[in-house]
Amino acid sequence: MRKNAINKVMRKTVVGITVVGKDKEGIVAAFTNFAFSKGGNIEQVNQNVIKGLFGMYLEVSFSKNVDIKKFDSEIQKLAKKEKMDVSTHHETNSEKNIAVFVTKEPLCLEVILKNAKSLKGKISVIIGTEKTLAPLAKKVNIPFVTVEEKSQSKAEDKIIDICKKYNIDLISLARYMRILSPNFVWRYPNRIINIHPSLLPAFPGALAYAQAYERGTKIVGVTSHYVTENLDQGPIIFQDSFKVNPNDTLEQIKSKGQKLEAETLLKATKMHLENKLEVRWRKVHIKSK
């Protein structure tokens, strides 16, 4: 009996549902009731409203077999009825699709590409705000898409379409120098990893190395974290640091830091793809084997 009970738990199907759209009454009930009607058990629900934009993440588990295609089809009918943009994410053992977002700093991207074979996933597309790093993608035969729209809203509309086209599971921000809005972030809860050049929560925002240099810090570090709607405040995955020599120039600190950024982003990306991370109460926990 004990063995059968364990097998049942192991066969549990988990579906992540994101709902984004104009805020209105009844949305939470509509989607939670839908999940219940399909025999699902709600494991997690997070919701937020910013300037009339509603975002919700539902994690629903099924102890019995569920027809995923039928479930997805029916929830899209509900999405159309409620005029919301809905997507579902299913945790499977199949290869994950990764999108890497870049601007013009090459090191993080170079390190990820160099170690691509060690990732439990496929780098399906690289999205850049300019064409500077396109040659790196071409060299390894990975599609590179440039999104140059100055309006972040228009840029994100295009990026959303690209991510849907490549069925993206994880987004890695390899020194991507634009701030993603809640409209985008809410669609990929705990599936966007960023690298920040300081030991957060110290020195958030831009020019972190300059701030550390000006304050004369003795240790400088980097932080990989999941992205939320609050800039540089998402759950911390991994941090590393290096000592600063009093005679180090700002450029020397930057050089050391950028190398560490690349290594730390790669490590966090690997840990996520290996299913070693779990976010509970805004903290990242390393799963025990």
For residue 102, the tally of other CB atoms under 10 A from its CB is 26
* Burial class of residue 61 in the structure, from the number of CB atoms within 10 Å of its CB (0-12 exposed, 13-18 middle, 19+ buried): middle
pLDDT tens track, the chain, 289 positions: 444 443 433 457 889 999 999 999 999 999 999 999 999 999 989 899 999 999 999 999 988 788 888 999 999 999 999 999 999 988 765 689 999 999 999 999 999 999 999 999 999 999 999 999 999 999 999 999 999 998 999 999 999 999 999 999 999 999 999 999 999 999 999 999 999 888 877 777 777 778 777 877 788 889 999 999 888 888 999 999 888 888 888 888 888 888 999 999 999 999 999 989 888 878 888 887 6
Q: What is the pLDDT of residue 289?
A: 62
CATH architecture, domain defined by 2-90: 2-Layer Sandwich (3.30)
Superfamily classification of domain 96-286: Formyl transferase, N-terminal domain (3.40.50.170)
Dihedrals φ, ψ of 199, to 5°?
Answer: -85, 90
* Bond into 197 cis (ω within 30): no
First vs last C-alpha separation in the chain: 24
Give the pLDDT score at 37: 92
pTM: 0.84
Q: Which of 148, 235, 222, 161 is nearest to 193 (CA)?
A: 235
Hey, which residues are catalytic here? Answer: 232
Q: What residues does each domain of the chain span?
A: 2-90, 96-286
Answer yes or no: are the C-beta atoms of 270 and 119 closer than 8 Å: yes
Strands 170-173 and 144-146: unpaired
Q: How far is CA 275 from the centre of its chain?
A: 13
pLDDT of residue 278: 86
What CA–CA distance (Å, rounded) separates 237 from 194?
10
DSSP 176: -
